Amino acid sequence: MAHTMAGEADIFETLRQELRRGSLILAVLGQLRAEHYGYTLRKALADAGVEIDEGALYPMLRRLESQGLLTSEWREEARRNKRFYRLSPDGEAVLDRLVEEWSGLNASVAAILGASS
Domain range annotation of the chain:
21-108
What would the pLDDT profile of 93-103 be if each residue is shown by its tens digit? 999 999 999 99
What would the pLDDT profile of 64-93 be if each residue is shown by its tens digit? 999 999 999 999 988 999 999 999 999 999
**pTM for this entry:** 0.84
User: Closest Cα to residue 86, out of 96, 72, 76?
Assistant: 72
DSSP state string for 9-33: HHHHHHHHHHHHHHHHHHHHHHHTT
Mention the CATH class of domain 21-108: mainly alpha
Query: What's the mean per-residue pLDDT of the chain?
Result: 91
For residue 61, pLDDT over 70 is answered with: yes
